[in-house]
Homo-oligomer: A and B are copies of this chain.
Amino acid sequence: MTCRENAEQKAYRLIIHDIKTKYQPGDFLLERDLAERFGVSRTPITIALNRLVADGVLQKLPKKGCFIPNLNSEDARDAFSVRILLESDAARRAASEALPADFSRLEEVLAATEQAIDSDDFMGFTFCDENFHHALVMAAHNSYLYDAWARIYLRCNLYTRFFDRMYTRKTPLKSGTLAEHAAICEALRARDAALGSERVAAHCRDALTYVTGLPQEASA
């Protein structure tokens, strides 16, 4: 059991949170600043930043530091195409591999999503959305697939968050998302691999459209 949280793990988690909510493309993340704000020394910050560079979330210049990369719509398409490839394949596998516990988890998340929508809780909705996709890919029961997917999903997610903030959307909490999630779940329960993977692919394409179907080109 990995019970207590490391300083490095804490730093990793908090930095991701800051990236999602505080920083924007082009910003440099200063080690000393992060260390002071998180109440740790520079060492665990350095380690966490290097992990994020390896994750592709940050870029790094020697002796200059780590920064949020500038992203264009071509990047978004490339990233989402990999996510679609992995996540639709996960659905294909989940259709045959998912266990009762996986379905329970998926429907637990669906219920929480519904509740977040009812309470008009945007943060809660976003959290549930992420949880659903994680639960979906975990239901494929392939840890290598999950690892690869989780990385690209994190990067895709950052795009979405940046665009959300750029246009200050507190989206209408579209119940469309919930319906699509439920439809995916239904296909998996029916053990229909082709339908499940196609519904996931379509759902991810929607997410890409949500990101790129906007006036953008904000960066170089």
| Contact assessment for A78 and B152 in the assembled complex, using a CB-CB cutoff below 8 Å | no
| Contact assessment for B148 and A152 in the assembled complex, using a CB-CB cutoff below 8 Å | yes
Is the C-beta of A91 less than 8 angstroms from some C-beta in chain B?
A: no
Is the C-beta of A151 less than 8 angstroms from some C-beta in chain B?
A: yes
User: Which residue of B has the minimal Cβ distance to A77?
Assistant: B142
Is the C-beta of A56 less than 8 angstroms from some C-beta in chain B?
A: yes
Residue A82 contacts which of B75, B78, B142 (CB distance < 8 angstroms)? B142
The number of times this chain is found in the oligomer is 2
What residues of B have a CB within 8 angstroms of the CB of A62 in the complex? 2, 4, 6
Given contacts A54-B54, A55-B54, contact A145 B47 (CB under 8 A): no
| Contact assessment for A78 and B47 in the assembled complex, using a CB-CB cutoff below 8 Å | no
What residues of B have a CB within 8 angstroms of the CB of A55 in the complex? 54
Would you list 18 pairs from A and B whose C-beta atoms are within 8 A, ordered by A residue? A4-B62, A8-B50, A46-B47, A51-B51, A51-B54, A54-B54, A75-B144, A78-B142, A81-B144, A81-B145, A82-B142, A82-B148, A85-B85, A85-B86, A85-B145, A86-B86, A144-B152, A148-B151
